[in-house]
């Protein structure tokens, strides 16, 4: 994992994201790693633009709320400008199935791969309490969905 720490009042610019990405690329080459995953910030500002630069595939993560659907549409405009293939995971899809359906309709209309629907599960909280990611916790539905999602993403790439 490669990351940066911003000081109090420091500017979170695309330059910082580019610096971290370049360092990650150097490490990936040294360690002969096939993939670099960039966790971008929400929104459509400079850090997001820098996160998208040079990407082969974008995984959009959204939740079923009107504001999240609006944000998804805004960031996808940016993804299209970069001409990057995209997929989407709907997190907590089951808390509002009506808006989840609207999201799925948008994905289909735009040709965005619908990677998965993650249900709301308390196993996420349990994993965090244990200091683990959800895929490190045995026998969770969400962990299995994410493992399957990763296989699909690698197949697409």
For the chain, which domains are there? 10-51 (no CATH), 55-156 (3.40.50.300)
- Output the furthest CA–CA distance in the chain (Å, rounded): 47
Q: Which of the four pLDDT bands, split at 50, 70 and 90, describes residue 12?
A: low
More confidently predicted of 44 and 151: 151
Contact 153, 34 (CB under 8 A): no
Q: How many residues does the chain have?
A: 157
In this predicted structure, the answer to whether residue 58 has a pLDDT above a threshold of 70 is yes
Q: Which residue's entry shows tokens 């960031």? A: 75
What is the pLDDT averaged over residues 70-96? 96
State the pLDDT at residue 16.
86
In this predicted structure, the answer to whether residue 27 has a pLDDT above a threshold of 70 is yes
Cβ neighbourhood burial of 62 (10 Å; 0-12, 13-18, 19+): buried
């Amino acid at each position: 994992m490669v990351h940066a720490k911003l000081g109090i009042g420091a500017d979170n610019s695309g330059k910082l994201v580019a610096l971290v990405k370049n360092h990650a690329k150097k490490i990936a080459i040294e360690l002969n790693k096939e993939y670099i995953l960039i966790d971008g910030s929400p929104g459509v500002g400079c850090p997001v633009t820098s996160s998208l630069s040079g990407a082969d595939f974008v995984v959009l993560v959204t939740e079923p709320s009107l504001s999240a659907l609006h944000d998804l549409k805004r960031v996808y405009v940016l993804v299209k400008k970069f001409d990057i293939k995209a997929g989407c995971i709907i997190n907590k899809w089951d808390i509002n199935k009506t808006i989840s359906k609207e999201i799925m309709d948008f994905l289909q209309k735009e040709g965005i791969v619908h990677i998965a629907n993650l249900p709301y599960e308390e196993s996420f909280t349990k994993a965090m309490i244990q200091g683990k990611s959800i895929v490190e916790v045995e026998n969770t539905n969400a962990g299995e969905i994410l493992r399957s999602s990763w296989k699909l993403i690698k197949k697409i790439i």
